[in-house]
Structure formats: C-alpha cells, structure tokens
Amino acid sequence: MTGKYFGQPVLRLEDKHLLTGRAKFCDDIVIPGMLHAAFLRSDYAHAIIKNIDVTEARKHPGVVAVYTAEDMGDYWKIGPLQVPPPFAIKDAQFNARPLPPIAKDKVRFSGEPIAIVIAESRYIAEDACEDIIFDAEPLPAVIDLEKAWEDTSVLVHDDLPSNMAALVKQEAGDYEAAKKQADVVVSKRFVADHVAGAAMENRGFVVNWDERTQEMTVWAGTQAPLPLRSAIAGRMGLVENQVRVITPYIGGGFGPKVMTSQADDVLLPWISMKLNRPIKWIEDRRENFLATTSERDQVHHCEMALKKDGTILGFKDVFYHNTGAYDPYGMTVPLNTQTHTVSNYRVPNFYTEIRMVFTNEMVVTPVRGAGRSEGVFVMERMMDLAAKELKMDPVEIRLKNLLKKEEFPLNTGVIGQDFVVGVLDSGDYKNNLEKCIQMVDYEKFRKEIQPKARKEGKHLGIGVVAFTEGTAVGPYEGARVTVGNNGKVSVSTGYSTQGQGHFTVFAQIVAEQLNVKVEDVRVITGDTGHFHWGAGTFASRGATIAGSAIHAAAVLVREKIFATAAKFLEVPEDQVDLCEGSACVKGHPEKFISLGDLAGKANPMRGAVEADVKPGLEATAYYAPPHGATGSGACAMIVDVDPETFKVKIERFVLVHDCGTVINPLLLEGQIQGGVSMGIGNAFYEKMVYDENGQLMTASFMDYLMPQATDMPRKMEIGHNVHPSPLNTLGLKGVGEAGALPPSPAFCQAVEDALYEYELDLTESNLNPSMLYEFRNKAIKR
C-alpha cells in the first residue's frame, strides 16, 4: 500500500528546528518571575523518618519556600494508581501501594524525595537542600527478589503481611498432564537484569498558575499529557479546561516519562498556586537514575516439556518481578512478560505465575521492551536448552514450533496488559526466521565459515532467535484534521512525541488523503489545549492507534471537501477530483477551487447555513482497537569472542521484521536500529546494580554503560515482511520496541556457540567480560 506520500521515505519535517538548535525543549522555557525547584532525596533505601529540619534552608538567601510532607497538610495524598489492577484475570491478587508525592514517616528507596526547595535559581535551591537536616533510623533493605517473597523478610510496607505486590496465574490446557506425556523435560533459572530508560533529556516540568485568568499552564516532557492534565486538575480541584498541558520537544521517552503523580507534578502545581509564581524543575541525571523509573529485573523458574522430535508439549514459568518500593503502574510489565513467553511458538499447555514483589528500590515501570524483552529472553533460552538436550539445531527446533500463518487469528488464552485476551492477528513467523537464516547464510556459516574459523583458533558463534511484539493496544486515541484558510492543514492529537517522527508520518497519512504536500500539514502533538482526549505514548501504539484516528479524520475531511466542492463547482460529487492543494472537476483541472478558498466557503460569516452542517473543512475521529496488533520477527547474530579477554565483537547482525503496512521505510529503519542499540546495550553493557543496602551503584553514565558508536555492529542488516494487520484500515502494527527484544537471547546463544570448548550455560540477560569469565569458569570443558 504505497501512495504518493504514504509508504514513501519522506524526510522529517521536524529535523530543521532540531538540527539548528531552534527546537524548544522543556528547559528552554523561560517565564518572567520564574522560580526554580530542587528536591532533597533520601540517601537511605529504607528508614523511618525521625525529623526533617528545614529551618536553616528557609533562611538561605534566595530561597522562597521549603516544603516537606508535613507542610502539605491535606494536600498530601498517596497515589492514585496510574494503571488499574488486573482484576480482569481470574483470582488475580494485587496490593495497591501507589506513590506518595513525597516521603512521610518512612522512606522506601534511595532517592525518594523528602523535601522540596523553591528558590530564585537552581543553584540556590540545591545549596539550600544541603542546609536541611534529615534525621532517620535506617532499616535493613529488601533487595533480593526471591528472599523478599518469603514470610521472614523485612517488610517494605508494614501494613501488609508480606512483600507480595501481586500474584497472578494464567494457564491454558494442563501443563502437569502434558509433562507426564513428555519425552524430555528441561528446567532452568534465569535472571533478566535491571536497566534504565536513560533518555538523553531528563524529565522536566514547568508550571504557571495565572491567578487572573484562573488557568494553569504546564510544560512537561511527558509521554502522557492527558492523564497528566486530568491528574493535576483532579488534585487541584480544577475543571479540566483550567489546566493546559503542553509537551514541548522531548529528548526521548522510552517509557519512564509516561509516569504521572510523581513528586514534581503533584507538588509544583500546588506550590505555583500557593506562591502565585511560575516554577521550573529540571531533573538531573543522578535523579533520573535514582528516582525516576526503570525496568526489567525478574527471576524466572522455567520448565519445558517436549516430545523427542522437539515438539513443545507444555511450558511452565514461575517468575518474580520487582516492582520497586511502590506499584503505581499496576502490572503492565509482568503481564507483558507473561504474554510474550507464549506468543510465537505453539504451546498447547502452559502455566505461568507472576510473583510481583515490593523491594527497597526505585519504582519499576515500562522501559522500551516493557516486559516483552524478559518474556522473549526466557522463552528463547528455553528453546536453546531444549535443542541442546535433544541434540537438535536451534533453528530446527524453532521452525518446528513456530506458529503457522494459517493459525491466525489465534486466541492465546492469556490476558495482557490491556486486560483483554490476546489474539495474534496476522503474520508469518516461520517465514521471518527462514528469511533471517537466508540473509545470514546460516548453512554456509555452519558448514564453511565457522569450521574454518575454529581451525584458525577463532571463536565465532551464531545465535538465531524469533520474537513477537505485542503492540498498539487500546484504549483509543483521537485526532482533529482541519484545512486552514491558507490551504495548509492542521492536525491535532493528544498523542505526544519523543523523537519517533510523528510530525512526519502523521502528515504523510493526511497528505495522502487530501492530496496536499506533506510539508503543508502541520501536526500538533500532546497539547491538551488543542486536543483533549487520549491515553498516551506507550506500547508501540503511535502510528497504529493515533495514526488510524488521524487517517479516519482525514477521510472525513476528504468527504467534506468533495461535498462542499461539488456545490461550488456545480458538478455532482462523483465529478470532483483532488488536484494538489485544490478540488477540481474531473478531467478539467482548470475548473478548480483551492482548498484554502474552499475552507473559507465552508465557514461563511453571514447568510443561512444548512442545518446539521458543521463549519469548516474539519473532522474529528477516534480509533479504538478490539485488542493489540502483534508484530513479529527473527534475529541472527554472529559474534567473535576473545577467549582470553572475553571481549565480544558483533560481526553480523540480521533482523527480519513484520510490522504490517509501512508508512515510512526510512523512519522504520531508524526505529528498528534504535531499538537494537538498546537491546545490545541491555545484552552487554547496561545494568543497574543495587548493593545489599539498597544503594544504586550505577547512578551515573560512568557506571551505567550506554552503548556507544564503536560498540555497534558495522551494519544492521534489516529485512522486512509485510503482513498487514486486519485490525485497522491501514494494516498497521507497531514497531517501536521490536529491535530491543531479540538481542539478549541471540547474544547468549551466539556466545555459547562461540566458546564451543565449554558447556556454557548463560542464564542472565546482561553479560559483560567479567561475567562471561565467571560463567566460563563454572562451565564443564567438553
């Protein structure tokens, strides 16, 4: 489905302002009289607050105000939950402990805010934080997930009988019965390591309460402007149209910026109203590491039952998921994990159990991958384990078990993060893998390249994995498309953007329908003053959900153009055509009316207007899917491992992907490449490490290693399959997180294959040279 604009590698409309330093980000906002905020955060991971003495801080020259929980009176409230509990799942247990805006009585993670200073400059605000005396009685920190689950553990929340945040079981068929029929049963414990979102721009929040207009304007680097607007209005006792949330340019999202009801957005609106002054808060990198949100961190106990020929009979997975000190984002992450263990192979019988635990660590919410990475990691590792046990080729066992395209749509029997039973809508999973092994030339590698390398003493290994990406979940998004009097088109959506290229792909969708130039479509994202319905940027849903709504609105505007133009051109509607930027008579391009003039005609200032005719060339539309659309893919990686230093070089990286219809192939590649770099980072560089006292040992880019240009493979070889989703008119599926999913398991498989002299058993999603050395030392020499 390629058109004049749709499906074309259109260059981005947003680039020029970004490239020339003219784009406005949150910290670029300046309001006369603006004050600056800084948070004092707890160094203790777990402690009882004895006293917070802010006397000296309040006296500090340039300080305007200092607040602790005590100063907030009735305004201090816990929560709410941003994502509701998964009670759509039978017998689900969930203990809601959403975030307090600022700690009261007890701190539960290192970095939790305990006081806020408002001053004339950020420098002064930070100085004054040092004048605050924080007196607390430290408690032992709860860090180990499996120990935290035990009844004997120290409690993170004293009012609960245990550290259980949730217990959710989902099953299909009868795993235990299947196990009895099995020729072979393999089992293993896996760790999916903790990683950061680490957008290059930290979070930020600017608020201005205007007492005279009784309106509050907020600029925030948020992925969820409408939930944020509603949350602020609700807390402040304002009606929604008194709060306008504007998302300026945002320097990357990757998940953590979806959070609302955090210290900044709860406290700053209240303080701005109290002081009647604008206030800015810009998070620094250390705060981002310590106290925004992060993800992964699971321990899995997996078991798989198979027939001799490699056919999967059943799968069992009991896993511990760290939610951190609170669980404001419900169970999105572990439900995604649960979904993605059983979403690409035929698993007739399964039992999966989520044990979500509270710990004294920062809150866990989605980071690109959002639970899918962990599900893909453990399932792919189990396939490798089964292949080894059955002496099968890892590709062969996968091809044997991958779902066939004739099986779609397939009801998975697992309720996902959107609280509906998962349905795999379309795709050809086997072909993804076949295409992938063709691209990497698997046969040649096995028969020629690898044996030759081994003879030369080189350690080359290959990993081949498959994955699905559940994307484009509900509930809905919406958009308004308007033709302006100058003939240019404006599009407003509640969806917010963080660099994905929405200004361009949304414009392409509209340009295609209205036959206007892409650069004549101006897209506004995430400004609640322009469009005030929507859920937010998460789950790879922008192009599909917001894009489908924009498409629907553009189609309505197109219809209105035809109807209105027919009147003015005095021809039947079926004789109207769209020339570029105008409506014309079919076959008579000289008889036309420009879209700008037509927009004026559609909005007459005098005279009678027919009943039921809405003014302007404008339409609003919404799109709500019955369930998510599922992308799929396969990935192959060839690595060269130095058996002395354990330095790993990625020689080749191949990824085949299917996200349905492609709107812009250039931007699609960018999305995949970015996801892959995060996946490679997760596989070999990035890891958040907490010590036994709950201190984050990796709270800077010196300790938390981000993948750099020299760490990337020379070329990511990307292949595409296109199986349009039947769920939406354009056939779209999401892609934003796909690249991040397969690198870890592919990397493990490839490294095991490379170090062939040992029976290596890699069970962690993040490796590094010293860990590889440890694993190798534990391994039996063949």
In the bound state with another protein, the residue whose beta carbon lies nearer, of 245 and 250, is: 250
Q: How far is the CB of 708 from another protein (least distance, A)?
A: 5
Neighbours of 482 (CB within 10 A): 18
Site for another protein in 350-389 (CB under 8 A): none
Among 30, 605, 611, 780, binds another protein (CB under 8 A): 30
Tell me: does residue 647 bind another protein (CB under 8 A).
Answer: no
CB 508 within 8 A of CB 468: no
CB 288 within 8 A of CB 198: yes
Neighbours of 359 (CB within 10 A): 29
DSSP result, 706-771: PP-GGGS-S-EEEEE-----TTSTT-B---TTGGGSSHHHHHHHHHHHHSTTEE----BS---HHH
520-555: b or e for each residue (b if 16 or more CB lie within 10 Å)?
A: bbbbbbbbbebbbbbbbbbbbbbbbbbbbbbbbbbb
Q: How far is the CB of 8 from another protein (least distance, A)?
A: 13
Among 702, 770, 780, 782, binds another protein (CB under 8 A): 702
Alpha carbon distances (Å) from 579 to 504, 569, 583, 584: 21, 14, 6, 6
Tell me: does residue 243 bind another protein (CB under 8 A).
Answer: no
Q: How far is the CB of 287 from another protein (least distance, A)?
A: 11
C-alpha 170/C-alpha 688 separation (Å) is 30
Among 7, 28, 31, 763, binds another protein (CB under 8 A): 28
Give the binding range for another protein (CB under 8 A) out of 129-137, 148-156, 248-256, 471-479. Answer: 248-256
Q: For the window 650-669, what string marks contact with another protein as x by the rule CB under 8 A?
A: ----------------xx-x
Tell me: does residue 32 bind another protein (CB under 8 A).
Answer: no
Among 216, 433, 535, 676, binds another protein (CB under 8 A): 676
Q: For the window 726-765, what string marks contact with another protein as x by the rule CB under 8 A?
A: -------------x--------------------------
C-alpha 259/C-alpha 203 separation (Å) is 10
Among 4, 15, 137, 158, binds another protein (CB under 8 A): 15
User: For helices 372-389 and 394-401, what crossing angle results, to 10°?
Assistant: 120
Tell me: does residue 17 bind another protein (CB under 8 A).
Answer: yes
Among 212, 715, 781, 782, binds another protein (CB under 8 A): 715
List the one residue out of 556, 523, 695, 570 whose CA is nearest residue 623.
Answer: 556
Tell me: does residue 34 bind another protein (CB under 8 A).
Answer: no
Among 98, 100, 111, 251, binds another protein (CB under 8 A): 251
Among 1, 7, 25, 695, binds another protein (CB under 8 A): 25
Q: Which residue has the tokens 């559609």?
A: 602
Number of residues that bind another protein (CB under 8 A): 57
Tell me: does residue 773 bind another protein (CB under 8 A).
Answer: no
3-state DSSP helix/strand/coil % of the chain, to nearest 5: 30, 30, 40
Tell me: does residue 125 bind another protein (CB under 8 A).
Answer: no
Q: Which two tokens stand for residue 428?
A: 């050809």
* Sheet order of strands, 63-67 included: 63-67, 113-119, 35-41, 279-282, 204-210, 215-220, 243-246
In the bound state with another protein, the residue whose beta carbon lies nearer, of 205 and 254, is: 254
List the one residue out of 255, 214, 258, 253 whose CA is nearest residue 233.
Answer: 214
Q: How far is the CB of 249 from another protein (least distance, A)?
A: 7
Q: How far is the CB of 554 from another protein (least distance, A)?
A: 24
Among 1, 7, 18, 758, binds another protein (CB under 8 A): 18
Q: For the window 56-95, what string marks contact with another protein as x by the rule CB under 8 A?
A: -----x----------------------------------
Give the binding range for another protein (CB under 8 A) out of 345-353, 369-377, 431-439, 711-719. Answer: 711-719
User: For helices 743-754 and 372-389, what crossing angle results, to 10°?
Assistant: 30
Give the binding range for another protein (CB under 8 A) out of 100-108, 255-263, 463-471, 701-709. Answer: 701-709
Peptide bond into 451 cis (omega under 30): no
Tell me: does residue 580 bind another protein (CB under 8 A).
Answer: no
C-alpha 329/C-alpha 331 separation (Å) is 6
Give the binding range for another protein (CB under 8 A) out of 140-148, 244-252, 324-332, 523-531. Answer: 244-252
Peptide bond into 724 cis (omega under 30): no
Tell me: does residue 257 bind another protein (CB under 8 A).
Answer: no
Q: How far is the CB of 128 from another protein (least distance, A)?
A: 14
Tell me: does residue 677 bind another protein (CB under 8 A).
Answer: yes
List the one residue out of 779, 738, 747 whose CA is nearest residue 765.
Answer: 747
What 3-state class would DSSP assign to 399? helix
State how far Cα 557 lies from the chain centre. Answer: 32
Among 35, 81, 102, 198, binds another protein (CB under 8 A): 198
Tell me: does residue 685 bind another protein (CB under 8 A).
Answer: no
Site for another protein in 277-306 (CB under 8 A): 284-285
C-alpha 87/C-alpha 317 separation (Å) is 21
Alpha carbon distances (Å) from 100 to 65, 110, 113: 20, 14, 10
**Positions in the binding site for another protein (CB under 8 A):** 11-12, 14-25, 27-28, 30, 61, 123, 198-202, 249-252, 254, 284-285, 498-501, 666-667, 669-670, 673-678, 700-702, 706, 708-710, 712, 714-716, 739
